[in-house]
Amino acid sequence: MSENQHTVPQTPSMRLDGKTAVITGAGRGLGLGCAQALAGAGAKAILVSRTESELIEACQTIQDAGGLAEPLVCDVTSARQVTERIGGLEHIDILVNNAGTNIPEPFLDVSEENLDVVMALNVKAMFLTSQAAARRMAEQGGGAIINMSSQMGHVGSPNRTVYCLSKHAVEGMTKAMAVELAPQQIRVNSLSPTFIRTPLTETFFADENFLNWTLDQIPLGRIGDIEDIMGAIVFLASPAAALITGTSLLVDGGWTAK
């Protein structure tokens, strides 16, 4: 090839073979979907939650499909457990901070107890888990952290003041982490879905008025399915997103575009 000829650029791979991915809140729902997606792309998925029986069943599902999966029982609201169990892992290439909760109620009725519960899991636990994983990634020379946020980290909504508060905090934390950890080659992004059908949200959709209100907010006209976030998770974790950090990937059917 002469000096004047250029090499044709190649599309980066979205394969994750040989990588180790840690997924919190992975026993079911969105977290299990993330674990299945990453394992399907070739990563070894380490599934984290408090419930061992749920984790064992979830890992078996992934293994039956030909993927690699291991359970890790850990309460991510416990700083000690996070430090010992997640921080004690030998290798972490990818962290998906998925563990979270929501207690919808009118702002004027929010109790201090409910405020503490949501913030402890959605924000503090994510901070501590990221810190433990990032220390390992820094030693290794890099990694990718994906914080599960929400469209509610970009807008406001009635009866979800605390949830919006927590997810706006996640968006700010994501940007700050991305800037600070970039010299260690650790990429940090958030994934912000609209309402996704999971065991957590099905109770909301049982209310026909809420279901219709939700559908009215989504230009694409449907509730999200777990499959809708699986490709996005793999993309953000993969070499295809090598120059992407400090941003939020919205998978919201157009909710926040209005």
100 confidence band (pLDDT: 50, 70, 90): very high
pLDDT of residue 243: 98
Per-residue pLDDT tens over the stretch 135-173: 999 999 999 999 999 999 999 999 999 999 999 999 999
Band of residue 1 on the pLDDT scale cut at 50, 70, 90: very low
Under 8 Å CB-to-CB from 12, ≥6 apart: which residues?
A: 238, 239, 240, 242
State yes or no: is 124 an active-site residue. Answer: no
pTM of the model: 0.96
> Considering 19, 167, 175, 258, which one is annotated as catalytic?
167
pLDDT at 199: 79
Q: What is the signed CA dihedral for 32, 35, 41, 42, rounded to 10 degrees?
A: -130
Residue 204 — very low, low, confident or very high, per pLDDT cuts 50/70/90? Answer: confident
pLDDT at 5: 64
Q: Which of 44, 163, 175, 258 is catalytic?
A: 163
Mean pLDDT of the chain: 96
The pLDDT > 90 percentage for the chain reads: 95
Domains of the chain: 20-250 (3.40.50.720)
* pLDDT, average across residues 195-210: 90
Give the pLDDT band (50/70/90) at residue 4.
Answer: low
pLDDT tens readout for residues 246-255:
999 999 999 9
- Please give the Cα distance from 99 to 120 (Å, whole number): 11
With a cut of 90, say whether residue 202 has pLDDT above it: no
Residue range 205-237, pLDDT digits in tens:
999 999 999 999 999 999 999 999 999 999 999
pLDDT tens per residue across span 35-81: 999 999 999 999 999 999 999 999 999 999 999 999 999 999 999 99
- The 10s digit of each residue's pLDDT in 80-91 is 999 999 999 999
Instruction: Write the CA distances from 40 to 14, 35, 44, integer angstroms.
Output: 11, 8, 9
Nearest Cα to Cα of residue 187 among 149, 130, 226, 229: 130
Question: How many Å apart are CA 143 and CA 139, to the nearest integer?
Answer: 10
